């Protein structure tokens, strides 16, 4: 099949907004510009944050209700849309969506699938889970990093289906425009060093470690010239974090802003970006920091060491090691030359390897390969 007239349906069953949804939006936006012969449609959860965001864009999208994890209304509408829109290929973007697509396939005989694996979580060795990942309609699994690919090899029988395609950042949409300045709104003095983080309050991000780093720097090292700013959607994990901040007497040195539209636009106001994840594919926050030329201190989990090389373009520590992370933050904050080298090397690496343009073209190659063999 030629690319002309290719209809791709991007399937998301995620009920919130995060890096995975940002990837879908970036991919569709880039393809609209670089490959207008490809028609991209996003199929998402009705009235969810992703649906609300897509309403503000020009990306074609269709929404369906998803009241429970396996909602047959979602699968039925998916099947009907594939027929009415003459979909050639379904690009699945999360594991819940795989299950819903399989159900629809049993009824409607859907076109081939590809799946983007965006985390480095181990795939559970359960019969149902292995069935999903090895479903014959899934022709390729796009892994966000080599580490994600390595993890996936333990569960996916046909290793030839696994391909690494790094996600990228969209250079055309970068902005530092914000409705307020952090230093003004939060009364952060010019003498304070802002340590920033953008992440939703989910298990993978392990913001407990983030709080522990602040505790070490402020309370153990008595470095009160640091201020910690965290941006991201609150969850059931938020209140225990807020309670711990109060317990450690860190309220004057730290703030959780919650969900903030275009949160990455605040990154240029950080002095250092601090990532404390215990599991990752490759986080957009690191790409965004590299692009905005803000130095990165991070845990070395998932695909992060493939992006940030320790002491070359950033600093890395083991997960949960708040003592080491605190040491690295202090080391970096005191070394202007190191910061300058890191941000320049990180930016150059980003431009060479991790843009949405490169991601989109590699993805198109996969689309073509699959459809030429149908």
CATH code of the region 6-168+355-372: 3.40.50.2000
CA gap 16, 338 in Å, rounded: 37
194-206 mean pLDDT:
96
CA gap 136, 131 in Å, rounded: 9
pLDDT-derived band of residue 168, with 50, 70 and 90 as boundaries? confident
Concatenated DSSP letters for 79-128? Answer: HHHHHHTT-SEEEE-SHHHHHHHHHHHHHH----EEEEE---PPPP--HH
> What's residue 281's pLDDT?
83
> What's residue 195's pLDDT?
98
- Assess whether pLDDT exceeds 60 at residue 4: no
pLDDT tens by residue, 283-309: 889 999 999 999 999 999 999 999 999
- Using a pLDDT cut of 90, give the percent of the chain over it: 87
CA gap 77, 178 in Å, rounded: 38
- Assess whether pLDDT exceeds 70 at residue 114: yes
pLDDT tens by residue, 29-41: 999 999 999 999 9
- Compute CA distances 342 → 46, 95, 174, 227, 294, whole Å: 42, 35, 20, 22, 9
- Assess whether pLDDT exceeds 90 at residue 203: yes
User: Angle between the 322-333 and 207-215 helix axes, to the nearest 10 degrees?
Assistant: 60
Rounded to the nearest 5°, which phi and psi values hold at 90? -105, 120
Q: Show the CA angle centred on residue 100, arms to residues 98 and 102, nearest 5°.
A: 70
> What's residue 288's pLDDT?
95
Residue-averaged pLDDT of the chain: 94
7-15 mean pLDDT:
95
> What's residue 361's pLDDT?
94
Q: Are the C-beta atoms of 101 and 64 separated by less than 8 Å?
A: no
Cα-Cα-Cα-Cα dihedral sign, residues 336, 338, 341, 346: negative
Q: Show the CA angle centred on residue 319, arms to residues 315 and 320, nearest 5°.
A: 115
Q: Where in the chain is the domain with CATH 3.40.50.2000?
A: 6-168+355-372, 173-353
> What's residue 1's pLDDT?
40
- What pTM, to 2 d.p., does this model score? 0.86
Assigned CATH topology for domain 173-353: Rossmann fold (3.40.50)
Q: Are the C-beta atoms of 155 and 130 separated by less than 8 Å?
A: yes
Of 18-32, 200-214, 215-229, 251-265, which gets the smallest average pLDDT? 18-32
Q: Are the C-beta atoms of 99 and 132 separated by less than 8 Å?
A: yes
pLDDT-derived band of residue 68, with 50, 70 and 90 as boundaries? confident
Q: CB atoms < 10 A from the CB of 102, how many?
A: 18
């Amino acid at each position: 099949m030629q690319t002309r007239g290719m209809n791709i349906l991007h399937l998301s069953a995620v009920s919130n907004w995060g890096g995975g949804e940002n990837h879908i939006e970036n991919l569709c936006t880039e393809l609209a510009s670089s490959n207008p012969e490809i028609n991209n449609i996003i199929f998402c959860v009705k009235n969810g944050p992703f649906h609300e965001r897509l309403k503000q864009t020009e990306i074609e999208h269709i929404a369906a209700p998803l009241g429970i994890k396996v909602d047959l209304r979602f699968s039925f509408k998916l099947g009907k849309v594939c027929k009415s829109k003459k979909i050639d290929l379904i690009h699945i973007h999360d594991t819940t969506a795989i299950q819903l697509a399989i159900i629809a396939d049993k009824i409607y005989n859907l076109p081939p699938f590809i799946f983007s694996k965006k985390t480095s979580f181990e795939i559970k060795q359960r019969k149902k889970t292995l069935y999903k990942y090895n479903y014959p309609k899934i022709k390729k699994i796009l892994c966000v990093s080599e580490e994600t690919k390595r993890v996936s090899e333990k569960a996916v029988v046909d290793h030839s289906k696994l391909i690494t395609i790094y996600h990228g950042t969209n250079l055309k949409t970068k902005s530092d425009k914000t409705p307020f300045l952090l230093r003004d709104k939060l009364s952060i003095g010019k003498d304070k060093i802002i340590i920033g983080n953008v992440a939703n309050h989910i298990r993978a991000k392990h913001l407990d470690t983030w709080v522990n780093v602040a505790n070490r720097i402020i309370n153990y090292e008595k470095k009160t010239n640091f201020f910690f700013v965290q941006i991201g959607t609150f969850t059931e994990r938020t209140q225990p974090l807020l309670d711990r901040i109060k317990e450690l007497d860190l309220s004057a040195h730290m703030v959780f802003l919650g969900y903030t539209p275009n949160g990455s636009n605040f990154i240029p106001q950080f002095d250092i970006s601090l990532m404390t994840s215990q599991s990752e594919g490759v986080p957009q926050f690191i790409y965004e920091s590299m692009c905005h030329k803000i130095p990165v201190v991070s845990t070395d989990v998932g695909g992060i060491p493939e992006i940030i090389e320790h002491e070359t373009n950033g600093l890395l520590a083991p997960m949960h090691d708040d003592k080491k992370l605190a040491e690295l933050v202090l080391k970096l904050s005191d070394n202007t030359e190191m910061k300058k080298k890191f941000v320049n090397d990180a930016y150059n690496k980003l431009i060479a390897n991790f843009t949405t343009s490169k991601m989109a073209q590699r993805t198109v190659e996969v689309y073509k390969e699959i459809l030429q063999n149908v």
